[in-house]
Structure 1
């Protein structure tokens, strides 16, 4: 191996390491049972895609896909002032998932799934980045 190719390999390694470090800093992990603040929108039954026909209440427990293809059962808590979220509406909620989940700062969107049907979506509200 020549000195030039060794330098190129070293630079490539350093760049890959820096990218992995930066990527890990943007990942927020929430432990199973930890409260996750979010905003939820339910698809209406006559929308595209078609969603729910009925509203949801606190303790609603669908499967949630945080973008990694893995579905996790999460319980939604709705503030008492709101009480229900009807199809077509958006509201602030908190989630508590059975398993730990990781959310990227650049991809906070999640899908709400009932069986094989996507019934809504939401966005995790992450804390502001540390200085």
Structure 2
């Protein structure tokens, strides 16, 4: 639940984002990930699983990379453009990002 002025924040499932993937040395992943990667996305106090879609021509994302991705969450959450989030997998943070465009 989010407390806000009625109509000021709406629920969405699909968005574009700019993300940084933590390197192994920063406590992130040791291996790359590909399209259809399904980590947890943490927005404020909410966590929800989402599917990552990589840009055309990008096969994989290495730890330490900055990349633009598309995300589709399994359930809609209240969000606005520029909301920040953490990407988590197996109980640890593996990336951080910011929504750049709401798609639905």
TM-score calculated relative to the size of structure 1:
0.68
Matches within 5 A, 1:1-131: 20-21=4-5, 24-25=7-8, 27-31=9-13, 35-47=14-26, 50-67=27-44, 69-105=45-81, 108-126=83-101
Shift of 1:70: 2.0
Indicate the structure (1 or 2) with the bigger Cα radius of gyration.
1
Shift of 1:82: 1.8
- SS of the residue aligned with 1:99? strand
Q: How many residues align?
A: 99
**Larger relative helix fraction:** 1
Structure 1 residue ranges (4+ consecutive) displaced by more than 3 angstroms after TM superposition: none
Shift of 1:24: 4.7
Instruction: State the alpha-carbon separation in 2 of the partners of residues 29 and 37 from structure 1.
Output: 15
Mark the runs of 5 or more structure 1 residues left unpaired by the alignment.
Answer: 1-19
1:42-93 Cα deviation digits (max 9, x unpaired): 100112xx100111100000111111x2210100000122221110001110
**Larger relative strand fraction:** 2
Instruction: State the alpha-carbon separation in 1 of the partners of residues 10 and 22 from structure 2.
Output: 27
Shift of 1:126: 3.3
TM-score calculated relative to the size of structure 2:
0.84
